[in-house]
Amino acid sequence: MRNQIKRIFYISLIWVAAFINAVPAGNDILSNIKIKWRPTKLVVSTEYDTTNVSKFMGKAISVMEFGDIRLGLANKQNIGTSPYSPFPITTAEDVPHWCSARFSQILATKGLSVVKNNAAIQIEGEVKKFFVTEQGGYTAEIEIMCTVKDSIGTTLWRDLARGKSEDKGKSLDKKLYFRTLSNAMVLAVKDFLINVKLERPEMQE
């Protein structure tokens, strides 16, 4: 019996050593990370069509706290997967809050008037996707269901804003998770600005 226990113990050590060697040097299991804002697609230089940004010029905008409609995740803190980690990549962030704060920040960086109260335009959002797939590279995808309302609550427009960013680098690199998610957020706001309409639905016909 004692020999059997020893054999199981040594086999377990071998498996642990094999796993450690399989993970590239310097990488960590990424758990409960705080997502830092690290876009390399600079908001001020990203090619936003001037016509699309000007839709909001002269209008006070309020970005409400986003909701969360992500499906298929047992844990809403899961934000990524890597073949080098037996565990999901998780965050300590409030993901919808992170998205709404960054959305507001990007609009302000584009020179638009973002306010908390008495806005002519109100933007609501629900996070549908916020995930990084690591497989030979990094692919971050963000999808936000956006609803735009006027000052009296009439819905002017509702649709998905999508952003997708890819990058390459060593596996399980926190900085690459930050970078790809940040860039995907910049592109999701760009997608929103390109497609949003500010006329009442009956006026769009």
Q: Which residues touch 174 (CB under 8 Å, ≥6 apart)?
A: 28, 30, 33
Per-residue pLDDT, 8: 54
Report the greatest alpha carbon distance in the chain.
Answer: 82
Q: Which two tokens stand for residue 133?
A: 């797939």
For 126-185, the pLDDT digits (tens) are 999 999 999 989 999 999 999 999 999 999 999 999 999 999 999 999 999 999 999 999
Per-residue pLDDT, 4: 60
Query: How many Å apart are CA 147 and CA 127, to the nearest integer?
Result: 12
Under 8 Å between Cβ of 28 and 84 = no
Per-residue pLDDT, 110: 87
Q: Where are the domains of the chain?
A: 30-204
Superfamily of domain 30-204: Lipoprotein like domain (3.30.160.150)
For 3-51, the pLDDT digits (tens) are 565 565 455 544 444 444 444 433 467 999 999 999 997 665 555 667 7
For 76-108, the pLDDT digits (tens) are 899 999 999 999 999 999 999 999 999 999 999
Q: What is the pTM of this model?
A: 0.82
Q: Which two tokens stand for residue 14?
A: 């071998």
User: Stretch 114-122: mean pLDDT, rounded?
Assistant: 95
Exposed e or buried b for every residue in 104-113, given b needs 16+ CB within 10 A? bbbbeebebb
Under 8 Å between Cβ of 128 and 160 = yes
- C-alpha 161: how far from chain center: 11
Q: Which two tokens stand for residue 116?
A: 């908390």
Radius of gyration of the chain (CA): 22
Whether residue 203 is predicted with pLDDT greater than 90 in this model: the reply is no
